[in-house]
Structure 1
Amino acid sequence: MKVKIESSKIVKPLYEDGEAPPARWVPLSVFDKVTYGEHVALIFAFRPPNPPNSEVELGLAKALAVYREWAGRIGDGPDGRRSVLLNDAGARFVEATVDAPMAVSLPSGPSPEVRRLHPRIDDGPVELVQVQLTRFSCGSLAVGFAGHHQIADGQATANFLAAWGLATRRLPLSPLPVCDRGTRFAPRDPPLVEYPHQEVEYRAPAPNKKCDVAVDEEEEEIGFGTAGHDKVKVHRMHLSKDFVARLKAQASSGLPPLRRSYTTFQSVVAHLWRAITAARGLGAGVTTKVRISVNGRTRMRPPVPRDYFGNVVLWAFPRSDAGDLVSRPVGHAAELVYRAVADVDDTYFRSFVDFAAEGEAEGLVPTADSEQAVLCPDLEVDAWLGINFHGLDFGGGGPFRVMPTYYPMEGSLFLVPSALGDGSMEAYVALFHNHLEEFKRICHKIT
């Protein structure tokens, strides 16, 4: 796929009255600072008809005026705290073309080529939002969106994308975002740290060590020196509606009569955790755990508004002996996932706020580390199942495909709902090449 960059510019907020508010610093919240300090890229594919780039650009400018943080810059504020400067410096807007139809150009599965559909994010761009519109000869449009994670979590990003679509269609932006990250999460007086947060959300800095990861520039795959583990590859696995239903039924079959069935998320994560563990060849005596994002909006008391713009995410860490995990039925793994996520409740979120806001994290670094290349024997799950990324609509309907960028971190797992809206989904699984072949052999077997 040959992508030709036609232009690259900065788009600044466009205010209805034409007058920009004064610049000001807004401190990042405790949840903003504990998450990944990097851009996260998504790809949206639209069939024609699509509006011209000028209308999409105008919509972006209007949306940035409402979601002003995206047009700012991250830095240390006057008080020394990590903050976002609301200075309307703008977002990056790239226009590109492909002289071929999307049907024959867009990779059918995870591929390094996908990275050509969004601006480069591995150099730490200063713009907190970077957008690339790639037009194909058939009239189809690929929108590559990269947003800095410390500004917004998945829910907040989806809200912004929906607003961008509304603005492009010249519709009112409603509901408006709740932008009070600097004051919302105040510690209690006196603070009450009830859970151990060091080595969970925060850890001591690791000593500097030389990274032994090599990158093959030709194939853009990550290489490792360990014999038998020479490549990490990403596999897209389709989970049909029928497969998900059978999986949920199998996972829930041993529950008592009055107990609710396991959710789609719990069942799918349990199944894939077991399959990946088996494919890796892990056995008794090895502990494996899963890092699962937990949205605190409905868990905190009082609840955080759904339209809050920022991060409200902590993590659950179900863990098990690998041999026990694989040898027992999928319902056992689903129960581990259920209990771990349930434990990240309002009490836990409040304990973390007190821990982080009272300086307990001083000198520590977040455990959310994007520079890890290999997670084995562990997993990290990014689930978009409850996030409406398909709500981005520029006027021709929602995207027919939504996917993460090519992200070959061994042990990473993305769960993406199908655009069909029928309960099916795609799982993007990154594993060592030799483990991936075994995973593909067993991943559709329900045990």
Structure 2
Amino acid sequence: MASSLIFTVSRREPVLVAPAKPTPHEFKPLSDIDDQEGLRFYSSGIHFYRNDPSKEGRDPARVIKEALGKVLVHYHPIAGRLREWPGRKLVVECTGEGVVFVEANADVRLEEFGNAPSPPFPCVEELLYDTESLGSDLDCPFLFVQVTRLKCGGFIFGLRINHTIMDAPGVVQFLTALGEMARGAAAPTVPPVWERELLTARCPPRITHVHPEYEFSAATDVMTTVPLSDMVNRSFFFGPREISALRKYAPPHLRPTSSRFELITASVWRSRTAALGYDPDDEVRVLFVVNARGRRSPPLPSGYYGNALAFPVASSAAGRLRRSPLGYALEVVKKAKASVTDEYMQSVADLMVLQGRPHFAMARTYLVSDVTRAGFEAVDFGWGEGVYGGPASAGIGGAGVASFYTWHRNGKGEEGILVPMCLPGPAMERFQMEMESLTQEPAFDPYDSNTNMKNISIVSRDMKMSRL
């Protein structure tokens, strides 16, 4: 089993890779969406590649290192360093110093990670550069890359990148360009666009929306009191059959308009709340990342690689969420997601300036980020598409508080969405029972007026759960 896999990685000394040609020395302010507190960290990604016999004699580490220097000519701010101006305003000084590159070797074969690798990965910290010891991210490189050769001839590409300079679509755009350069292109197909002023606060700034995602809460959360040793990790697969079942638990008027993301998020949030046993009056929330690129008019220019995201929040009293049919949670999630408009994004940027760039609140909150459509798995450095490409860990911001939704092909060859979950042992058993029930096709339409089950919910199961 990959989960019990142990292997050794030997690293060479890290080196700085600078742009292959001279680049301008200038100061480039980040946007007021980029520099919020919740994005001031290094996000991690990992890509697994098979051996390609036709590439015999080509070293992926050397190829990618050379391509880095070339692509940084076009993405020269990434070769700079982060500075902080008054008002906690973050600015990139384009110094051309470069990014960190490490080459390594591991005594393990790709097949030992399983047929369909997915997080959590064994020994993942050995495959990524350690940024924990950096302390502040000011005056540090934006990007750390490690290429690890495997015994089978395949390799693993790992990166850590400061989230303030780009979001997931931005990372995919950059990695796609890096792959193009590695395959011999003279320039990226999509030229990078900075233009961070498009997501900057007005003058004077003014908050025009309610933003509960940034309202501080002193509420305690059961998830913060459980030792890590008592936590259990499992992943839940949502393929066509599971999505079809969830859709049938939704009210008829919501079935055709509800996305896979909305159905999964509503059901996972509801089942997680029931499993954790919150008090009925506790406010529980689900916070999700929404890509604002397609929600602006006019849209952001093609090639924009900064953070263009929002964190709308859906909230409910825990008791009502548990007692109500799935349609209630679905309505709340859809309403929150639809709230992200041009003016909403502008209001967030203005709030950052007026309130000191706060962190989004996480008390009794579950954060989800859907990266299934980002295109991580399609990044090609010359060895074809990855066996896996995407987040290096199952969650964000600590055990149990968040999950990445990733594209996955299960052992049966079915394609779908994989949702990792981290919960205390007893809660995990309750959560699994909830999800198994919701992803089984109902014997009848719960909203059919010809039955006496019009108001079917999970109430009966909740009653059983309370006895566990």
State the TM-score bracket (shorter-chain normalisation). Answer: 0.7 to 0.9
CA distance in 1, matches of 2:83, 2:33: 16
Residue 255 of structure 1 is matched in structure 2 by 253
Residue 400 of structure 2 is matched in structure 1 by 410
Residues 417 and 423 in structure 1, CA contact (< 8 A), matched pair in contact too: yes
**Pick from 110, 113, 117: which aligns with 2:120?**
110
Residue 432 of structure 1 is matched in structure 2 by 424
Q: Offset of 1:393 from its aligned partner?
A: 0.4
CA distance in 2, matches of 1:396, 1:144: 15
SS of 2:294's equivalent in the other structure is coil
Residue 276 of structure 1 is matched in structure 2 by 272
Residues 351 and 357 in structure 2, CA contact (< 8 A), matched pair in contact too: no
Answer yes or no: is 1:238 the counterpart of 2:234.
no
Alpha carbons of structure 1 residues 186 and 41: separation in structure 2 relative to 1, 3 Å: closer
CA distance in 2, matches of 1:279, 1:78: 45
Residues 60-139 of structure 1 aligned to structure 2 (within 5 Å): 60-76=68-84, 81-104=89-112, 110-111=120-121, 113-124=123-134, 126-139=140-153
CA distance in 1, matches of 2:229, 2:107: 35
Structure 1 unaligned regions, length at least 5:
207-222, 370-374
Q: Which deviates more from structure 2 when the two are superposed, residues 413-422 or residues 24-33?
A: 413-422
Alpha carbons of structure 1 residues 285 and 12: separation in structure 2 relative to 1, 3 Å: same
Q: Offset of 1:419 from its aligned partner?
A: 5.9
CA distance in 1, matches of 2:44, 2:302: 22
CA distance in 1, matches of 2:316, 2:89: 38
Answer yes or no: is 1:377 the counterpart of 2:379.
no
Identical amino acids, percent of aligned pairs: 25
Alpha carbons of structure 1 residues 11 and 242: separation in structure 2 relative to 1, 3 Å: same
Answer yes or no: is 1:3 the counterpart of 2:13.
no
Q: Name the structure where helix makes up a greater proportion of residues.
A: 2
The letter for the 2-side match of 1:393 is D
Deviation by residue 1:218-263 (Cα, 9 ceiling, x = unmatched): xxxxx9765x88533432222223212332x22544317xx84200
Residues 179 and 381 in structure 2, CA contact (< 8 A), matched pair in contact too: yes
Q: Which deviates more from structure 2 when the two are superposed, residues 335-344 or residues 58-67?
A: 58-67
Q: Offset of 1:165 from its aligned partner?
A: 0.7
Structure 2 unaligned regions, length at least 5:
1-6, 439-457, 459-468
The letter for the 2-side match of 1:241 is P
**Pick from 213, 216, 241: which aligns with 1:200?**
213
SS of 1:426's equivalent in the other structure is strand
Q: Offset of 1:74 from its aligned partner?
A: 0.6
CA distance in 1, matches of 2:11, 2:161: 20
Q: Offset of 1:109 from its aligned partner?
A: 5.0
Residues 17-416 of structure 1 aligned to structure 2 (within 5 Å): 20-34=22-36, 35-49=38-52, 51-52=58-59, 53-76=61-84, 81-104=89-112, 110-111=120-121, 113-124=123-134, 126-171=140-185, 172-181=187-196, 183-188=197-202, 191-197=205-211, 200-201=213-214, 231-247=230-246, 249-255=247-253, 260-356=256-352, 359-361=353-355, 364-368=356-360, 377-406=364-393, 407=395, 408-416=398-406
Residue 216 of structure 1 is matched in structure 2 by none
Alpha carbons of structure 1 residues 174 and 91: separation in structure 2 relative to 1, 3 Å: same
SS of 1:184's equivalent in the other structure is helix
CA distance in 2, matches of 1:405, 1:61: 24
Residue 211 of structure 1 is matched in structure 2 by none
SS of 1:366's equivalent in the other structure is coil
Alpha carbons of structure 1 residues 190 and 95: separation in structure 2 relative to 1, 3 Å: closer
The letter for the 2-side match of 1:128 is F
CA RMSD of aligned residues (A): 3.0
Residues 278 and 326 in structure 1, CA contact (< 8 A), matched pair in contact too: yes
Residues 213 and 287 in structure 2, CA contact (< 8 A), matched pair in contact too: no
The letter for the 2-side match of 1:398 is E
Deviation by residue 1:299-347 (Cα, 9 ceiling, x = unmatched): 2222112421211112110011212212222222111111001012112
Alpha carbons of structure 1 residues 251 and 44: separation in structure 2 relative to 1, 3 Å: farther
Residues 178 and 308 in structure 1, CA contact (< 8 A), matched pair in contact too: yes
Residues 418 and 426 in structure 1, CA contact (< 8 A), matched pair in contact too: yes
CA distance in 1, matches of 2:432, 2:261: 20
Residues 251 and 262 in structure 1, CA contact (< 8 A), matched pair in contact too: no
Q: TM-score scaled to structure 1, two decimals? A: 0.84
Q: TM-score scaled to structure 2, two decimals? A: 0.80
Q: Offset of 1:122 from its aligned partner?
A: 1.8
The letter for the 2-side match of 1:139 is G
SS of 1:323's equivalent in the other structure is helix
CA distance in 1, matches of 2:168, 2:208: 27
Residues 203 and 365 in structure 1, CA contact (< 8 A), matched pair in contact too: no
For these two proteins, the number of residue pairs brought into alignment is 414
CA distance in 2, matches of 1:44, 1:240: 23
Alpha carbons of structure 1 residues 331 and 78: separation in structure 2 relative to 1, 3 Å: closer
SS of 1:234's equivalent in the other structure is strand
Q: Offset of 1:188 from its aligned partner?
A: 4.3
